[in-house]
Homo-oligomer: A and B are copies of this chain.
Amino acid sequence: MISSIELAKLCGVSQGTVDRALHNRPGISETTRRKILDLAKRHGYLPNPAVREIMDRSSNIVGAIIPALNNIFFMDMMSLLKDSLEAHGKMLFLTPVHGKADFLTALEEFAARKMHAAIVVPPEENLPLPSHLTQSLPVLSLLSRCSERSVPCLTADEIQTGKTAVQYLADLGHQKILHLTYRRKAKGIEDRTAGYKSQMNKLHLKPIVSIYSSENDFLKTLDRHHPTAIFCHNDWLAITILRHLQTHNIQIPQDISILGVDHTPTFQTLCPDLSSMEYPLASFTHTITDWTLTKKLTSPPEPLTVIPGKTVRALS
């Protein structure tokens, strides 16, 4: 990759003149301009972004940190986010991380590179971040909160998500609704469960919350509670559960109804007929993009809506 100085030498002009040609600035003859642009194209000249980053003390890269595992949802979101950011001249670079140490290392690297902002999925709830990091690098957290007040946490209204799910199933006649969720503590997870409980109580139904750990445990839970519907924390879990039920010859939705959450492109392909709740990815990524540009969380993401499929039935 040629530099602007080498390009200047090739053209027999000064590097200042090359710059005038490349940036369409006045004060240059049409002849030299054409010659320079021609040679630039032929050699595939591209300015070195590192130089801009030094001079501006800031890069046009937005860094994202997502979990190395369980990333289907985040990858679907990041793919959209990338397009949205690109429309504003920002690049999105992703890093998958395995835990707290990995996470903090990546964040330090982002800060050292003076990235424009960081969009992160913290590996645990209430993670403290070194203050020198948050002072120089704007950080937006998804799903889980960081302990710094200066780091906003963006989630959909997950309490509402839980309520909507319950109401949808209850409207179809379900009363024994099991909520299957994860052990991991995270605002986005806990809120959804809280919304479930709240709405169940409001309808005078008994909340049954179960942490998914293994097929065996799940089957025991089924035996104990005999739910007519299962509200899974997300589509990932719903797909796993569907397979468990298939193995044990339990009919869906005749014997039991399954409702997931996410309905992102990947899950739609994996299981097109899954009844689910659609995560408002477009409005979500729009909010994130706005934040990276203004550092302010303007429009809150829209609520999730139920996408009826074939895994939930009405009780007669």
**Which residues of A approach B to under 8 Å, CB–CB?**
1, 43-44, 46-51, 53-54, 59, 68-72, 75, 78-79, 82-83, 91-96, 98, 108-109, 111-114, 130-133, 136-137, 215, 236, 239-240, 242-243, 246-247, 249, 251-252, 265-266, 269-274, 310
- Tell me which residues across on chain B come within 8 A of A96, comparing CB atoms: 75, 78-79, 82, 94
- Are the CB atoms of A247 and B48 closer together than 8 Å? no
Docked CA distance A272–B271 (Å): 16
- Tell me which residues across on chain B come within 8 A of A247, comparing CB atoms: 273, 310
- Tell me which residues across on chain B come within 8 A of A53, comparing CB atoms: 48, 50
- Are the CB atoms of A83 and B98 closer together than 8 Å? yes
**A242 partner, pick from B91, B243, B252, beta carbons under 8 A:** B243
Asked whether A240 and B269 contact (CB < 8 A) given A53-B50, A69-B79, the answer is: yes
Docked CA distance A252–B46 (Å): 56
- Tell me which residues across on chain B come within 8 A of A1, comparing CB atoms: 111-112, 114, 132, 136-137
Docked CA distance A251–B250 (Å): 11
- Tell me which residues across on chain B come within 8 A of A249, comparing CB atoms: 251
- 5 closest A-B pairs (Cβ-Cβ)? A44-B132, A68-B79, A46-B112, A1-B136, A50-B50
Show 13 A/B contacts (Cβ-Cβ < 8 Å), sorted by A: A46-B112, A50-B114, A69-B265, A70-B266, A71-B75, A71-B266, A79-B98, A215-B272, A236-B270, A239-B239, A239-B270, A239-B271, A246-B252
